[in-house]
Amino acid sequence: MTTPFDLGPEQRELAQWIREVAASRLLPVVGRAEPGRVDRDLLKTMGELGLFRRLFPGAAEAVPGRATSATDLCLLRESLAMVSTEAETALALQGLGTYPVLLSGSDEQVQRWVPAVAAGDAVAAFALSEPGAGSDAGALQLRAEPDGTGWRLSGEKTWISNAPEADFYTVFARTTPDAGARGVSAFVVPGDRPGLSGEHLDMLSPHAIGRLAFDGVPVRAGELLGELDRGFAVAMKTLDLFRPSVGAFAVGMAQAALDAAVAHAGERQAFGGPLKDMQSVGHTLAEMSTRIEAARLLVYRAAAAYDAGAERVAATSAMAKLFATETAQFVVDAAIQVHGARALQRGHLLEHLYREVRAPRIYEGASEVQRSIIARELYRD
């Protein structure tokens, strides 16, 4: 018997299957690529397992607008994060780069790129952030200047997923000066376009993140994604879907940290008994578990609201991302405290999670931005 707050039997089976194949098929592949570079072997294996087909329903038929549910996206990300943050991140980056095409692209754009990503053969990237425009996405300065047959892109992007190795980029550029978010357009730009260059960025956790330079990069009229000057809506449509799933990623990491702490506290002998019998440790584990469960409920409530087409889901999604990412930071830190010095050693699961857990409090809207969204909704009426 399930309650309205529980996952159904099919969803639990899916989550279990994802964890099993992540452990048996993906973990042996992880680490073969150079740190901070796109792991194409991992992507291909994920494609063969059908993980990207779950991310892009209808990909084999190249059907425009066919998105996975937010709930299934959360299941994918939480389950992968519990086993391999590398595989989870690979899935998330592919999703971010491809969903603008799937949700807003023409039939031709969808047919060209989405099936290849679903098969693990193409690498996608979401190119929104700039040196002077991170959380304030309406302040974009990358210029798209008409050239008679299309546009020329000039400027810079930074903190870009899978850059500079992606096969295509969803690029957001300014087509109308001084118009804020209303003057931004989206383009699908192949990675081998002349004038496009980039470099890798050395991050706290070695993800495939980089900087891009656009030196008069030509884009054709058929590479406009959606409508002219409506690119900000394209970006927000994608981020609205993905924001609760960032919380799911955080919940997955937190659960992995809690599981490690529970196992360690039950095995570690100290002061004449197992560590778990010390009240301070037991209470810490209880606090970790309670916060994780609360975060999970917020995440799946936000996903369910999105899937149901509920109005004004912005605050619900913001609460889910805010609470889940802040919870994950607390849980991973507490798990390290339970373990002691051994968890600080390079290669330990918790050392790895400590580096991984920091970024989600910033990307796709920092915690401060989420609080502003929630506060704004309080006064909307």
Q: What is the mean pLDDT of the chain?
A: 93
Please give the pLDDT value at position 59: 56
Percent of the chain with pLDDT over 70: 95
Please give the pLDDT value at position 139: 86
Please give the pLDDT value at position 174: 96
For the domain made up of 126-228, give the CATH fold: Butyryl-CoA Dehydrogenase, subunit A; domain 2 (2.40.110)
Structure confidence by residue, pLDDT tens digits, 7-24: 888 889 999 999 999 999
Average pLDDT over residues 198-226: 95
Please give the pLDDT value at position 68: 82
Structure confidence by residue, pLDDT tens digits, 324-368: 999 999 999 999 999 999 999 999 999 999 999 999 999 988 999
Please give the pLDDT value at position 311: 85
Average pLDDT over residues 288-309: 96
- Give the residue, 3 or 269, on which the prediction is more confident: 269
Please give the pLDDT value at position 315: 93
Please give the pLDDT value at position 80: 98
> E strands within the chain?
124-127, 143-146, 150-161, 168-174, 184-190, 196-200, 209-220, 224-225, 269-270, 273-274
Structure confidence by residue, pLDDT tens digits, 256-266: 999 999 999 99
Interstrand relation of 184-190 and 269-270 (parallel, antiparallel or unpaired): unpaired
CATH, range 9-122 = 1.10.540.10
Q: The domain 233-378 belongs to what CATH superfamily?
A: Butyryl-CoA Dehydrogenase, subunit A, domain 3 (1.20.140.10)
| Cβ atoms of 78 and 85 closer than 8 Å | no
Domain range annotation of the chain? 9-122, 126-228, 233-378
The model's confidence at residue 381, banded by pLDDT at 50, 70 and 90, is low
Q: How far apart are CA 153 and CA 165, in angstroms?
A: 18
| Cβ atoms of 156 and 198 closer than 8 Å | no
Please give the pLDDT value at position 158: 96
Average pLDDT over residues 43-49: 97
Prediction pTM value: 0.94
Q: Above 80 in pLDDT, residue 64?
A: no
Hunting for tokens 């290669």 — which residue is that?
347
Least confident of 1-5, 137-141, 246-250, 269-273: 1-5
Please give the pLDDT value at position 62: 52
Structure confidence by residue, pLDDT tens digits, 68-117: 899 999 999 999 999 999 999 999 999 999 999 999 999 999 999 999 99
Average pLDDT over residues 254-277: 92
- How many angstroms from the chain centroid is the CA of residue 64? 21
Please give the pLDDT value at position 273: 85
Please give the pLDDT value at position 33: 83
- Give the residue, 31 or 234, on which the prediction is more confident: 234
Q: Above 90 in pLDDT, residue 60?
A: no
Q: How far apart are CA 103 and CA 45, in angstroms?
A: 25
Choosing from 78, 364, 368, 377, which is the catalytic residue? Answer: 364
The model's confidence at residue 136, banded by pLDDT at 50, 70 and 90, is confident
Q: Which two tokens mark 37?
A: 């570079």
Please give the pLDDT value at position 1: 53
Average pLDDT over residues 224-233: 95
| Cβ atoms of 225 and 188 closer than 8 Å | yes
Average pLDDT over residues 116-141: 90
Is 364 in the active site? yes
